[in-house]
Structure 1
Amino acid sequence: MTGIPAVDEATLTALLAAWLPEQRWFAGKGRELSGVRIARRAVLLDHPEVLVEHLLVDVLAGGLPQRYQVPLATAHTLPDDRRAFPLTAEGADPVVYDGLRDPRGTESLVTHLAGRDEVGGLRFRLVEGAPAPAPVRGRLLEGEQSNSSLVFGDDLMVKVFRLVQPGVNPDVELHAALARRDCPAVAALRGWVELGGADDDDEPGGGPTTLAMAQEFMAGAADGWAMATASVRDLFAEADLLAEEVGTDFADESRRLGAAVAQVHDDLAAATGTTTRDGTEIVASMRARLDAAVAEVPGLAPFADAARAVFDEVAGSGPVPVHRIHGDLHLGQTLRAPDRWIVIDFEGEPAAPLEERRVPDSPARDVAGILRSLDYAAQHTLVGVTDRQLRFRAREWRDRNVDAFCTGYAEVSDADPRETGALLRAYVLDKAVYEVVYESRNRPGWVAVPMGAVERILGTA
């Protein structure tokens, strides 16, 4: 039995109310926190020097109910981690801190996974045939916005979904579907952690809720966004060379990435099935986002009629082939392994309802996400820069890589994105409108990047 007593619920609730809004994965930032309730609390590790608990915490932020997964550790001293994120004040004893920062707590996660254990209602699942992970301590990856990922050794990553919604997370669902197709463009699914089922009164949906996913870790893989932006920087540094002449020209990689995305789409279509949606239904949400964006960013108003005309063209085109897709694809969701491109993070937009993320959509949405990301990569260093030569070279890089990506996609798929006409144009426009709103809220100095895209898409630049 541990010598570390659990903190009483009232005290812990008060600590969470102050701590949660400061975490980067907290989705309720900017909203008034009007209620915090600990919905579940279970012991994951009972150690003489630390108590690690698993909490599900219900939050009311700006009137919006949200549930978060919060592993917490209680000990007499903080671990040797400069970013332990304590909930308690300096000098407190015991101290309460982020459970994913405690090395003994992280080791307990893979120990439970290897044992296929059931702990406090949590069920640890290992994919049939997957190697049982060794009991090693995990290191937390920094920089994630929505979730928390731990790396164990050189080949295993466990992603902990912070914002919890009832049901199977699409990241697990689609990785499992792609595994059935032996898709080479994704990392192998190793297991997952789930809660609840038909006999669980706290899960009204009746089925399991995904809390975490274990998958192959691609050691040494390079981030797609980092590779693309490095290529742009090198181009700008070589004033006398064309993009194709620079040693870090990205076009061949864009072509290979296009082929990888097409492979993922083909395998998702085969694994999950295809259907059709009426064009009117597809653009209904685009129109709603446009109307909301115009109301929030008046600078979009002059483009609203032309944008609606693009959406009208799709609405009048009849049925659109759809299937399950990535749903939130951009260069930051891709990794370049030594031998291939890998697409990651299939959970979709984390803030969107789970049922919405499961709706089949056109693969053109994913293609549009990459095309917009390539435009951002080309222009990310030019915010506030008026040098016409640099802007010309950015456009050259963007157009070259957009064409290369589409070429690679067409080499694998029956469909060339450049031949989808108004459909791809509508998805790219919808993404750019979303970006205008995002930048106006978070980085006003960047609004010119997506606003320029809106002008270019509508032919008004």
Structure 2
Amino acid sequence: MSKAASTRSNPRPAAVPRSVPPAEAEALVGSLAPLLHDWLPRQRWFAGKGRQVTGFVPVTVTELLPQDATGTSLLHLLVRVEQQSAGQGAQQAPGRAPADAGDCYQLLLGARTALPPRLAPALVGHATQGPLAGRTVYEGLHDPLLADVLIERLRTSGAVGALRFGRAGAIPAGLSSRLLDAEQSNSSLVYGDAYILKILRRVFPGPHPDLELPLALAAEGCERVPAPVAWFDAVDPSGSDEPLTLGVLQTFLRGSQDGWQLALAALDEGREFTDEARILGRATAEVHTALAAALPTVTLGRSQTAQVAHAMRERLDAAAQAVPALLPYVPGLRTAFDALAGLDAAGRGRPAQRVHGDLHLGQTLRSPDGSWSVIDFEGEPARPLAERRRPQPPVRDVAGMLRSFDYAARSHEPWRADWAARCRDAFCEGYAEAAGTDPRAEPELLRAYETDKAVYEVLYEARHRPDWLPVPMAAITRLADGS
């Protein structure tokens, strides 16, 4: 019997979940502020690194598990984090809202009278004031007991205060949980090797593509993407009609391997990866075809294409201000965006549709039977949600995957530029076989989107993984020359 099942076989006194009133929520978050000031900026998924945290404003606070007989409780918090604005000395990410508007984060915090040694890595701190005074606060997703509270909420569906839980089918009881430790911009729990629950950390009002697109693809019968089984969101307390998507439960592809690790293994073993790249190209085209059938498409005219190119130039200029190593390459990189702006001078429209938005090898999985799936439709987390939901040319996803082959080859010693080139060609060939159009047929379009992606990578690596900065900078050198 699983640990979760045995826990339920010895019931504790019932504790009723509740929404915490505003005044009480403000006092609670205020008492947690000293702990969060130190803990939150160290989290991999915290987007505001490099800017001073100046305050925390509660959006919603819900007791999913009020303090039980063992002294354990689970708090669900949506907290707006106020930070020093970019104009006060820190650089701001391209396309983001003003920093002092505050990003909203989802936190699931456990509290115990004493923390067991097995939960020591999850420690947030020891509360000395407020409602949790004298108790130990920790990251709740590490605790199987609290992870079980979440899956039970999804199993039964319904609402708890501002939180709403929904599902598309039955979920079995008694599933043990484990928290994935891979670095990512969100957090994921695996239940019984049958389901995976993605917890969105930085939340925005509006339909979230990580739920919206897999639901649309499932309705279209596309089997390249795991269908959502359940989800939860929150009512926006500001009064807007837009939901705040918080988590998505999908089928866990047990035994699958992600494309990034498979590519690195091929490099280590001196093997080609062209067959896999070609199949990935076909899979990507199948997803694009299904998205175009399931959701509205548009035609980008000359002015819209010019606006896309202008936005790329703005992102380049902002990134160069943040990363001075880019400055010598700016004139050469701008030629890619100038060429894009001039593509539709004759008035020919260009199709645009919903796309993945952040496609790379790490967003793909190969199952034991050799089939490939595409996952994580969140898009680039640094970009505003409205931009991520905007129809775009499918070549954006193609460019992301081409950059990923280059990343894999560049992260290997010695650098295998020829390996990456063959994978890039094979991917485009596979895409053309399924889509009927070859992404390489419009080199100006492909170069512009690949350049925009490389600029994004430079900014990301400079902020989060400086040791990786030479990888996108190698592509910047090539793209600035028009190669």
Match of 1:108 in 2: 149
1:284-323 matched pairs, under 5 angstroms: 284-318=310-344, 319-323=349-353
Q: 1:89 to 1:204 in 2, by over 3 A?
A: closer
| Paired letter, 1:403 | D
| Paired letter, 1:330 | H
TM-score under structure 1 length normalisation: 0.88
Asked if the contact 1:110/1:135 (under 8 Å) is kept, the reply is: no
Asked if the contact 1:2/1:51 (under 8 Å) is kept, the reply is: no
Q: 1:144 to 1:444 in 2, by over 3 A?
A: closer
SS at match of 1:108: helix
C-alpha distance in 2 between matches for 1:272 and 1:110: 30
From 369, 375, 379, the equivalent of 1:344 is 375
SS at match of 1:192: strand
Task: State the superposition RMSD in angstroms.
Answer: 2.4
1:207-218 matched pairs, under 5 angstroms: 207-218=242-253
TM-aligned CA deviation for residue 356 of structure 1: 1.4
From 1, 25, 37, the equivalent of 2:45 is 25
Q: Does 1:99 align with 2:178?
A: no
Match of 1:270 in 2: 293
C-alpha distance in 1 between matches for 2:322 and 2:79: 32
SS at match of 2:56: strand
From 67, 84, 89, the equivalent of 2:122 is 84
From 184, 203, 209, the equivalent of 1:170 is 209
Instruction: Figure out how many residues of one structure are paired with residues of the other and give that number.
Output: 432
C-alpha distance in 1 between matches for 2:14 and 2:122: 21
C-alpha distance in 1 between matches for 2:265 and 2:395: 27
From 120, 125, 130, the equivalent of 2:166 is 125
Match of 2:69 in 1: 48
Runs of 4+ in 1 over 6 A off after TM superposition: none
TM-aligned CA deviation for residue 294 of structure 1: 3.4
Q: 1:303 to 1:55 in 2, by over 3 A?
A: closer
Asked if the contact 1:125/1:193 (under 8 Å) is kept, the reply is: yes
| Paired letter, 2:63 | V
SS at match of 2:221: coil
1:385-400 matched pairs, under 5 angstroms: 390-391=414-415, 394-400=416-422
Deviations 1:49-100, CA, capped at 9 Å, x for gaps:
211111111110223201111111111222433422232279x942111121
Q: 1:282 to 1:134 in 2, by over 3 A?
A: same
Q: Does 1:74 align with 2:111?
A: yes
SS at match of 1:86: strand
TM-score under structure 2 length normalisation: 0.84
Asked if the contact 1:224/1:333 (under 8 Å) is kept, the reply is: yes
Q: 1:207 to 1:438 in 2, by over 3 A?
A: closer
Q: 1:58 to 1:81 in 2, by over 3 A?
A: same
C-alpha distance in 2 between matches for 1:460 and 1:271: 36
Higher mean C-alpha displacement, 152-161 vs 72-81: 72-81
Deviations 1:262-282, CA, capped at 9 Å, x for gaps:
111111111112112232122
Aligned-pair identity in percent equals 46
Asked if the contact 2:400/2:450 (under 8 Å) is kept, the reply is: yes
Unmatched segments (≥5 aa) in structure 1: 236-245, 383-389
Match of 2:226 in 1: 187
Higher mean C-alpha displacement, 218-227 vs 80-89: 80-89
Asked if the contact 2:231/2:248 (under 8 Å) is kept, the reply is: yes
C-alpha distance in 1 between matches for 2:351 and 2:263: 31
SS at match of 2:124: coil
Q: 1:254 to 1:275 in 2, by over 3 A?
A: same
Asked if the contact 1:321/1:362 (under 8 Å) is kept, the reply is: yes
Match of 1:58 in 2: 80
Asked if the contact 2:127/2:137 (under 8 Å) is kept, the reply is: no
TM-aligned CA deviation for residue 171 of structure 1: 0.4
TM-aligned CA deviation for residue 397 of structure 1: 0.7
| Paired letter, 2:397 | D
Asked if the contact 2:406/2:420 (under 8 Å) is kept, the reply is: yes
SS at match of 2:350: strand
TM-aligned CA deviation for residue 109 of structure 1: 1.0
